[in-house]
Structure 1
Amino acid sequence: MSNYKIITDSTCDLPPKIIKELGIHVIPMEYTLDGINHFQDVYDHGEKTRAFYSHLKEGKKPTTSMINIERYMDIFSSYLDQERDVLHISFSSALSGSHNASRLAILELKERYPERIILTVDSRAASIGQGLMVYHAVKMQEKGMDLTELADWIEKNTGSIRHWFTVEDLQHLKRGGRIGAIQAHVGTALSIKPILTVDAEGKLLNAGKVMGRKKSLVELLNRMKEESVDSENQVIIIGHGDSREDAELLEKKIRQTLPVKDVILTYIGPIIGSHTGPGMVGLTFMGEKKEN
């Protein structure tokens, strides 16, 4: 395998088993709850994440923070010191300043390690969409693709990642400024469920709404039926905010409808979950490239 390390952020929301299988370095991002700082545990099998969502259900309001330049430098240099090159795949720059921090860290590191290749690529994705991009990147690396070729492949294919998700409680989107207070109040009262996506620029987009939870899950399936390509060879990811039964129901509906290769089921971790709340269910797969 090519001598470079693939690194990403914990916003990828990949499950511990997959992280280990892929051999990637996932940098934990930080959140604050009740005045106490926590790093998202990327090897948590659900216990800590369930406790986090319990706090949200009690009305707690966590905040999140980006990875700073110094932390990126420390992690990248640990591999550069081993004479290994680095490819970092970041959380969407439209949703966080982390990508820019990684870029600035690399500018400094290139002066110290002029002989090494150090690149960061904006996934223009969030959560499991970012996770799916990382998954495919590792598979390309395993086939022998070198670092610069892979970085170019990611840049060209960010628009092929499809993210679709719905949330149970609109108040969390209101807190993040994604919808207005009146819209959140009325939507909650009428059981309106938004259908959200991430566009080609990596921005969150409200793409529609349906009445009721079951219809929102069906709508996620419908989006995949309309947009997926070569589904029989696809590994897809379903993420959930402590709503495993709904995620498993969506998986069942997909397997009954489309001949997918495999389904990765995972928790949406505290960083993304702070903004989407309990009950979020998301689906990501490969589709035709979106144009800006």
Structure 2
Amino acid sequence: MLQFFQPVLFMAVPQINQWYAKGVRMKDFVITTDSNCDLLPGYIKEKRVGIIPHYYELNNTVYGEEVNLTPKEFYDSMRNGLMPTTMASNPAVIHSTFLEYIKEGKDILHISFSSALSGGCNNVEAGARELCEEYTDAEIVVFDTLNASLGQGLMVMKAVELKEEGKSLKEIAAWLEKHRHNFCLQFTVDNLFHLQRGGRVSKMTAIVGTMISIKPILIINNEGKLISSGTVRGRKKSLSTIVSNMVKQMGSYLGNPGTICVVHGDALEDAEYAVKLIKEEVKDASVIVNVISPSIGAHSGPGAIGICFWGENRAN
């Protein structure tokens, strides 16, 4: 059985489309996601989270599967003027990865990068549907996080936690559906030209904004899109702003913040400064820091900083 959780545009609640297979059974299941989740490699290995790679091309070489650049190499190449392009997940890789789990007798919960930012979610849905038509006793649930980076990764971590508590695949999917908009992301970039290249700002805005050190504040909204929520002047101000915005969004979660994540585009010093600000505001916070994956970093550029956290709702 394939279940696909997808938001319906212009409606307040999501629609759930379902494909039913023969029989009812209790089977073990695996949790998979894609490389844009930005989870720490050690966590992925320890929890045995399956990863579907997204890809990037740089200097006529495609990376993302067995061949990869280090974060430093990737971001330095951008600093030196190379412009990477990105590609979504490969249908053949999706098919082979899922088929391996099915042949092991396992069902699959796939927690996907936002469908509003990439075609990867659609690729996974298509692959899952095809496999479930052939293997009618298989169940694959594709959950569209409408999120990115460790905003998506936090959902994976919660799914793993619920699985370890003994929750079923359907129970976990229902929990994620209910709490989808409680996973929030505040973001800022250091260089407007990468946003301009992706069509997020005009060339004139990028030129003038860079000259006067304008820094955009970006969020992932309820539709899973990256949108601007304002601008500030100066790097330090942009970092303090995303932290103060986080505190406002957390609301009642301030008393029980859980894990807060800081992601960066090869800007560890600024990430550590953001962690310092977070711990000043949220005393009991457990903070994870990781580098932004290349297929996201190709659009946000070197120096980008994001904060992913639990909130009462996403700002729009």
TM-score bin (small chain): over 0.9
Q: CA deviation at 1:217?
A: 0.6
Distance, in Å, in 2 between the alignment partners of 1:55 and 1:260 is 38
1:8 is aligned, of 33, 44, 51, to 33
1:224-239 correspondence to structure 2 within 5 Å: 224-228=246-250, 229-231=252-254, 232-239=256-263
Aligned to 1:268: 292
Give the distance between the partners of 2:196 and 2:65, measured in 1 at CA. 23
Q: Give the deviation of 1:40 after TM superposition.
A: 5.7
Q: Which of residues 40, 54, 58 in structure 2 aligns to 1:33? A: 58
Percent identical among aligned pairs is: 42
Q: Which residue of 1 aligns with 2:302?
A: 278
* 1:45-83 residue CA offsets vs partner (Å, 9 max, x unmatched): xx7111100000001000010113222111111111000
Q: CA–CA distance in 1 between the matches of 2:66 and 2:186?
A: 25
3-state SS of the aligned residue for 1:260?
coil
Matched, 1:246 2:270: yes
Alpha-carbon deviations, 1:134-170, whole Å to 9, x = none?
A: 1111111111111111112212221111100100000
- Pick aligned residue for 1:52 from 47, 52, 74: 74
1:121 corresponding residue in structure 2: 143
Corresponding residue of 2:164? 142
Please name the residue that 2:47 is paired with.
22
Which residue is 1:197 aligned to?
A: 219
CA contact (8 A) 1:40 1:270 kept: no
Q: Distance in 2 between matches of 1:233 and 1:218?
A: 18
Mapped to 2, the partners of 1:260 and 1:284 lie a distance apart of 16
SS in 2 for 1:271: helix
Q: Which residue of 2 aligns with 1:175?
A: 197
* Shift, 1:41, TM fit: 6.9
Q: Aligned pair 1:70/2:92, yes or no?
A: yes
Q: Answer whether contact 2:128 2:140 (CA < 8 A) is retained.
A: yes
Alignment correspondent of 2:8: none
Aligned residues: 289
- 1:22 partner amino acid: K
Q: Is this contact kept in 2: 1:91–1:122, CA < 8 A? A: yes
For residues 62 and 146 of structure 1, the distance between their equivalents in structure 2, rounded to whole angstroms, comes to: 40
Q: Take 1:113 and 1:289, find their aligned partners in 2: how far apart are those partners? A: 38
Deviation at 1:230, TM superposition (A): 2.5
Which sections of structure 1, spanning at least 5 residues, go unmatched? none
Report the Cα distance in structure 1 between the residues aligned to 2:48 and 2:158, rounded to whole angstroms: 13
For residue 83 of structure 2, the aligned residue among 48, 58, 61 is: 61
Taking the aligned partners of 1:184 and 1:92, their CA distance within structure 2 comes to: 26
Summarize deviations over 1:173-224 as a string: whole Å, max 9, x none: 0011111111111111110000000000100110011000000010011012
- Residue identity in the other structure for 1:34: N
1:209 is matched with which residue? 231
Conserved 8 A contact 2:279-2:285: no
Displacement of 1:233 in angstroms is 4.1
Paired residue for 1:94?
116
Counterpart code for 1:37: V
Where do 5+ consecutive residues of structure 2 fail to align?
1-26
Which residue identity lines up with residue 99 of structure 2 in the other structure?
A: S
1:288 partnered with 2:295:
no
What CA distance in whole angstroms lies between the structure 1 residues aligned with 2:92 and 2:59? 26
The offset of 1:238, in angstroms, is 0.3
By how many angstroms is 1:291 displaced? Answer: 8.8
CA distance in 2, matches of 1:182, 1:135: 41
The letter of the residue matching 1:26 is I
Any idea what SS the aligned residue of 2:299 has? helix
Paired AA for residue 230 in structure 1: Y
